[in-house]
Amino acid sequence: MILKKAKGNSGIIRKEEGTKTGSLQRHLKQLIAVIIVGMLTIFWLGTGRNFEPYPKAETGIMDLTQLEFENDVVSLDGQWEFFWNRLLNPGELKTDIVIEYVDIPSSWNKYVSNKSTYYGDGYATYRLIFITEEEQRLALKIPRLRTAYKLWVNGELIASAGTVGKAREAMKPQYLPQISFFEAQQGENEILIQVSNFYHRSGGILESLKLGSEDQIFELKLKSMAMEFILFGSLMCIGTYHLTLFFFRRKKDSSPMYFGLFCILIGIRIMLSGECFLFYLFPEFSWEIAHKILTLTYYLGVPIALMFFIAIFPEYFNIRMIKAAQMMGGVFVLIVLFTPAKIFTVTNIVYQIWSFGVIFYIISVFIKIFIHREKDSLLIGLGATALLMSSINDIIFFTPWMHDNELVFLRALVRTGNITPLGLFIFACTNSLLIAKRFSDALEQEELMTAKLTEMNAHLDELVFQRTKDLEESNQKIEYQNIELERKNQVLQRFSFKDPLTGVWNRRKYAQMIKSEWRRCLREQKPIALLLLDIDHFKRFNDFYGHMEGDKCLIKVGHALKKSLSRSTDILARYGGEEFIVLLAGAGKEESIKTANMLRQKIEDLAILHEKSPVSDYVTVSIGCTSMIPNLNSSYQDLFNMADKALYQAKNAGRNQVRFL
């Protein structure tokens, strides 16, 4: 009698749980749909489309007098002066030189019809005059230029990548997106760029240069780097997870393996495109090898992505299409492995056309899947849409058709490239939701089977114990995942506060710390000191020894300063260029002067040879320092201004010395 009563109650409970589960699943599907729509919206808004009426260069002149650089970042697009087969230095332009005009961004292939230029070979000088309303410090965000360049602003060399030459043997290619700072004059300012290319199918300036204030450009660069690091880390973790899932759990289902491989390929591609942060880690990394790896991620990615979709819905895909994709991928991989970039960048357009065919084939298959209402097809389709649309965008953006022809419609539609990683990340999220849902369904089925067995021949105490244990294990896993996620977030946050060259804190970290330390010293009425250091005649050092030695000098100076500061509260940051800043909380006048003199002597003791310095045979620094006790009528900006004035006095007094205000 008791057993029958238990069965009756169990049936009522299961019915109620089933009703709740069905309602929960309906709400979950609605939530997933909202999330995906939101992701796609963010994806579309994040593709860099800007409909603001910014000025364009006309006949080599760009009027920027109406722009507020504190709020605006402008693309230097439009008509630039173009001097084919000439490498002109500042001041070498003559009135008898014939001036041509080209649209930027675009390749120079379309402007010269001879055979060598069809393959992108050649060298040229670009020139743009931009007009500003007042003197101000600005910055340039320089993309990849194909494939080596030198850039001057107002006669001052501020950036370069690779070695510019008039022949293949005389030049060295390099991709090095960077930002450079300079002082803009009131009125006309000249940008002069020498570009040479004998390694790639397309030559010239194929991406927009960005101009803005130091803070705007630095923030733009930082956001771009942060986005790429987040996508890189996320895709590598997701890829590794799915490969592990394949090898340890379900080897009969090959979809996790293909998905994991595809995520890792796109993760590797991120390192070599966009901001190209691999070249910041390994500046001497071979351009040829890097371009081979970059192209291989594309050639291997197409068949692997197709194999993933086939593994999920095998009955809808044609086996001939699978073999064709594998064969095409294999042929083009061999072309990349056994030919130089000059060859396989020319044949790349054939594979791009093939990729379009594969993408539209996948889309047609998904239409059939939706018509048949296959399980989970909506979730996979939404994620696949983001991946396929971003892939189409990138193929169009990077195809030579875009850069060699006046395709106005495509240029208006596709304004940003390298968004496939973002599309893949969205697809990875939907795929993870799908996996979670399938595991949830499997768990639910297992629980139903357990409930049936329990009704027949189980004990309530054992069931409660097992469920409690499962819940504890689940909570432990969630707690571990939260801890791991927090750790990764902390690593990313620390990286965003580090100067990538010297390893010390960057300007963003200083801006954060000065606020907190100022408030603390104001509350406790303790002094706070600020030291502003500038390497003497560093431009001459760079011009004489080269930017590589200049970077090494900055690294040595940064390490020496960091090692010399003993207090845990002392903050050292690279403020920009050759300037460093030291924050000494609790330090008065005597201690700040003593510390400044000690740091100045430490740098001089490094004995870094500086033959072009009129101050010393070695690298020296000038230091301006100040100290004050904060009050309600002062701010940390006043502290910085005093240190800046003191630094100015130190420079005017002959440099290699300390001045206190």
Q: How far apart are CA 137 and CA 7, in angstroms?
A: 80
In a domain, 487, yes or no: no
Q: How far apart are CA 226 and CA 500, in angstroms?
A: 12
Cis peptide before 147 (omega within 30 of 0): yes
pLDDT-derived band at 518, boundaries 50, 70, 90? very high
CATH number of the domain encompassing residue 596: 3.30.70.270
- Residue 269 corresponds to which tokens in the numbers above? 């591609």
Q: Are residues 540 and 392 in the same domain?
A: no
In a domain, 254, yes or no: yes
Q: Are residues 166 and 256 in the same domain?
A: no
- Residue 498 corresponds to which tokens in the numbers above? 């580090």
Q: How many CB atoms lie within 10 A of CB 329?
A: 22
Task: Convert the pLDDT of each residue in 539-551 to its tens digit.
Answer: 999 999 998 999 9
Residue 331 lies in domain: 220-443
Q: Are residues 376 and 389 in the same domain?
A: yes
Interstrand relation of 621-628 and 658-660 (parallel, antiparallel or unpaired): parallel
Q: Are residues 183 and 254 in the same domain?
A: no
Q: How far apart are CA 392 and CA 396, in angstroms?
A: 6
Q: What is the DSSP letter of 60?
A: T
pTM of the model: 0.55
Q: How far apart are CA 153 and CA 140, in angstroms?
A: 10
Task: Convert the pLDDT of each residue in 379-429 to its tens digit.
Answer: 677 777 777 777 777 766 666 555 555 554 455 555 566 676 777 777 777
Domain boundary among 172, 203, 218: 218
pLDDT at 492 over 50: yes
- Residue 583 corresponds to which tokens in the numbers above? 């924050």
Q: Are residues 181 and 262 in the same domain?
A: no
pLDDT, residue 321, reads 86
- Write the DSSP string, 227-295: HHHHHHHHHHHHHHHHHHHHHHT-TT--HHHHHHHHHHHHHHHHHHSTT-THHHH-TT--HHHHHHHHH
Q: How far apart are CA 166 and CA 151, in angstroms?
A: 16
In a domain, 290, yes or no: yes
pLDDT at 533 over 80: yes
Q: Are residues 381 and 322 in the same domain?
A: yes
Q: Are residues 514 and 438 in the same domain?
A: no
Q: Where are the alpha helices (DSSP H) in 399-459?
A: 400-404, 408-413, 420-457
Q: How far apart are CA 250 and CA 640, in angstroms?
A: 61
Query: Of the candidates 48, 148, 108, 110, which has an alpha carbon nearest to the alpha carbon of residue 397?
Result: 48
- The better pLDDT of the pair 275, 323 is held by 323
In a domain, 476, yes or no: no
Task: Convert the pLDDT of each residue in 215-259 to its tens digit.
Answer: 899 888 888 888 888 888 888 888 898 888 888 865 677 888 888
Task: Convert the pLDDT of each residue in 273-299 to its tens digit.
Answer: 877 778 778 878 888 888 899 889 888
Q: Are residues 299 and 202 in the same domain?
A: no
Q: Are residues 621 and 655 in the same domain?
A: yes
Task: Convert the pLDDT of each residue in 629-661 to its tens digit.
Answer: 999 889 999 999 999 999 999 999 999 999 998
pLDDT-derived band at 538, boundaries 50, 70, 90? very high
Q: Are residues 326 and 285 in the same domain?
A: yes
| Number of domains into which the chain is organized | 3
Q: How far apart are CA 108 and CA 413, in angstroms?
A: 22
In a domain, 462, yes or no: no
Domain boundary among 443, 461, 489: 443
Candidate from 16-20, 94-98, 446-450, 557-561 with smallest mean pLDDT: 16-20
Q: What is the DSSP letter of 48?
A: -
Sequence-ordered list of residues with C-beta below 8 angstroms from that of 509, at least 6 positions apart, any chain? 497, 498, 571, 573
In a domain, 483, yes or no: no
Sequence-ordered list of residues with C-beta below 8 angstroms from that of 496, at least 6 positions apart, any chain? 222, 226, 508
Domain boundary among 184, 218, 252: 218
* 3-class DSSP assignment, residue 402: helix
Instruction: Provide the Cα torsion 276, 277, 279, 280; round to 10°.
Output: 140
Give the per-residue SS3 of 383-396.
HHHHHHHHHHHHHH
In a domain, 451, yes or no: no
CATH number of the domain encompassing residue 80: 2.60.120.260
Relative orientation angle of helices 547-564 and 589-605, to the nearest 10 degrees: 140
Q: Are residues 203 and 294 in the same domain?
A: no
Query: Of the candidates 498, 511, 522, which has an alpha carbon nearest to the alpha carbon of residue 586?
Result: 522
CATH number of the domain encompassing residue 433: 1.20.1070
Q: How far apart are CA 586 and CA 517, in angstroms?
A: 9
pLDDT at 4 over 60: no
Locate tokens 């030189």: which residue? 97
Taking the CA of residue 371 as centre, how many other CA atoms within 13 Å lie in the half-sphere pointing to its CB?
7
Task: Convert the pLDDT of each residue in 473-482 to its tens digit.
Answer: 777 887 777 7
CA 412 to chain centre: 24
Q: Are residues 231 and 164 in the same domain?
A: no
Mean pLDDT of the chain: 81
In a domain, 184, yes or no: yes
